[in-house]
Chain A
Amino acid sequence: MAILEMNQVNKFFGSGHTEIEALKPTNFQAEKGELIAVIGPSGSGKSTFLTIAGGLQTPTNGKVIINEMDITSLKEKKRSAIRLREIGFVLQASNLVPFLTVSQQMQLLDKVKKHNLSAEKLKELYQSLGIEDLLNSFPSDLSGGERQRVAIAKALYTDPSIILADEPTASLDSDRAFEVMEMLKEATTKNDKTTIVVTHDTRLIDYCDKVYNITDGRLSLKQPSH
């Protein structure tokens, strides 16, 4: 059963002469346990794709269904609640709150959502990400790689069904980038999540179950690389 489904989704920006179709009509499905890469150059519409998939913006036409729920016509308030429950974002720029320590980042989520990972599982998560010694550090004290790992921890902490990662490896060197992909892969298979990574970094496709290309707003499935 598809956890994320997009039916004939497209997105126009602007109007009249300046109107552009950032995302051409797209059909897309993601299953549980899949790690999917969407690869394309900047301006190809991959961020538009990701933000529509994550309920951050509504498509012009078509339907977006997350976990059997049609979120297309929901108001921002409802979509916000669904994002909190179903989706973990790992963003290009770190999505950490600068005045909270690593462990406080997680506490903040406790304030707004119930049923997050248990203390035990959180500890495991910290260990698997190798950040168990950084819990009292502020984001400004962390390296880019460390910040990215904390961001992943934060995305996984709410136990979402879908992880959407926008250029998660952008600021990292190759070793770190592979490390981050390993972690996403592990989180996906071990906990039966669905992870979609949007990137222009073709080095990452080895980790993925499916790879899509996106150019000029047109999404197309690439043949499996392995």
Chain B
Amino acid sequence: MFLAWNEIKNNKLRFTLIVGVLMLVSYLVFFLSGLANGLENMNKEAVDKWDGQGVILTEESDINLPQSSLTLDDYNGEGVDEYASLAQINSIATSDDHKSNVSIFGIDKEEFIMPNVIEGDAFAKEGEVIANESLKDEGFKLGDKLSLSSTEEDLTIVGFTNNAKFNAAPVLYTDLYTLQKVRYGKAAENYEDRINAFILRTDNLSDIEVPDELQVVDTTTFIENLPGYSEQNLTLTFMIYFLFIISAVVLAIFLYVLTIQKVSIFGVMKAQGISSSYLARSVIAQTFLLAIAGVIIGFILTMITGFFLPAAVPVAFNYLDLLVYGIVLIFVSVLGALFSIQTIVKIDPLKAIGG
């Protein structure tokens, strides 16, 4: 530590550069992690909100909610603590100049999908909805009449809830009948029992028996099969992992060049009898210091940026993830330093003193 620290103090510029690179890499990693997390939330917020362990869908839906079509009679709640029926369609809602993608949930008010209301009231009459509060940022407000892209029916926002996005679209919660009106128009009465899924709350999902044409999926699988969800996640995760490799390699190159520059200094120290392992430990300690500094500054920058970002950017930081990624970054940086160790071990003190 003694050697490492004194060298840093006396070569501020070059070590600032290294910390700078590490800072940028960690900034990018943290930001991508926030973005991945944010995008994940956008997709599954409403699913997290209903807090179920499983979903019943039709076998032929391929775990795609809009493609699953069943009736209220298909399942009677056998083997679960609680269950809720869910009908869902996607639409575009327009009010004056405001326009937004929405996902409409038709639910039974008495069942557990019914959201908390943070502003206004719960829906009571036909055509009333509780909207996700993100619509407020887009200019919608209580009492707004929403016209929908697929139907003549109008909906009215009577309340707002929070954390309710499904597949990146804000959710409008309404009763089952209103949803059927939106979906089938005048024919709604004939289809009143048509829903897309049952949401289950139970600890033993595997014990539930359903007819052959239905399937029980656990919530994780259901989320992973949301359109685009896995692809998006995979891409971002891949980028993050790649950044780990990049930071290891960049660090390795930097330290290797520095080590090569110091061959004669190391050689002189070795001639004097200072062991390779002491010098190696010093390089490791140095890398550790630089990596910690880079990661911490990167973290602070990420937080500052996150604070100033507009709400529309889907960034949500999961601090545990950031901690893990920070530790991994420090670890791979040190791994990069190991590359220089063999150079140090191989330095012949004889050459260094011109023998």
Contacts and interface: CB of A to CB of B under 8 A. Distances in A.
Interface of A: 47-48, 50-51, 54, 56-57, 77, 80-85, 87, 89, 91-93, 95-100, 104, 107-109, 111-113, 138, 154, 166
A91 B271 contact: yes
B5 to A, nearest CB: 10
Contact of A80 (B9, B10, B273, B350): B273
Interface stretch (B137-145, B171-179, B214-222, B262-270): B262-270
B3 interface: yes
24 contacts: A47-B354, A51-B350, A51-B355, A54-B271, A56-B349, A56-B353, A57-B350, A57-B355, A82-B273, A87-B273, A89-B353, A91-B271, A95-B271, A95-B353, A97-B3, A99-B9, A104-B2, A104-B6, A107-B2, A108-B269, A112-B273, A112-B274, A112-B278, A138-B10
A100 B3 CA distance: 8
A138 B276 CA distance: 24
Contacts of A107: 2
Contacts of B272: 83-84, 89, 95, 109, 154
A207 B355 CA distance: 25
Contacts of A108: 2-3, 269, 274
Contact of B265 (A81, A83, A97, A112): A97
B204 interface: no
B4 to A, nearest CB: 10
A111 B354 contact: no
Given A57-B350, A138-B10, A166-B353, A97 B278 contact: no
Nearest to A101: B6
Contacts of A83: 271-273
A154 B268 CA distance: 12
Given A47-B355, A97-B265, A98-B265, A111 B2 contact: yes
Given A99-B7, A107-B2, A138-B10, A56 B275 contact: no
B273 to A, nearest CB: 3
Contacts of A95: 268, 271-272, 353
A9 B341 CA distance: 33
Given A95-B272, A109-B272, A154-B272, 18 more contacts: A50-B355, A51-B355, A56-B349, A77-B275, A80-B270, A81-B273, A83-B272, A91-B271, A97-B268, A98-B10, A99-B10, A100-B3, A100-B6, A108-B2, A108-B3, A108-B274, A111-B3, A138-B10
B11 interface: yes
Nearest to B353: A91
B2 A56 contact: no
Contacts of B354: 47, 91-93
A67 B162 CA distance: 82
A56 B354 CA distance: 12
B351 to A, nearest CB: 10
A97 B3 CA distance: 9
A50 B10 CA distance: 33
Interface string B6-45: 1101110000000000000000000000000000000000
A80 B270 CA distance: 7
A91 B9 CA distance: 26
B352 to A, nearest CB: 9
A166 B271 CA distance: 13
A98 B11 CA distance: 10
A77 B274 CA distance: 10
Contacts of B275: 77, 80-81, 112
A99 B286 CA distance: 14
Contact of B355 (A48, A97, A99, A112): A48
Interface in B57-89: none
A115 to B, nearest CB: 14
A162 to B, nearest CB: 12
Nearest to A154: B272
Contacts of A47: 354-355
Interface in B259-295: 265, 268-276, 278
B354 to A, nearest CB: 7
A56 B350 contact: yes
Contacts of B269: 97, 108
Contacts of B355: 47-48, 50-51, 56-57
Nearest to B270: A80
Nearest to B273: A84
Contacts of A50: 355
A59 to B, nearest CB: 13
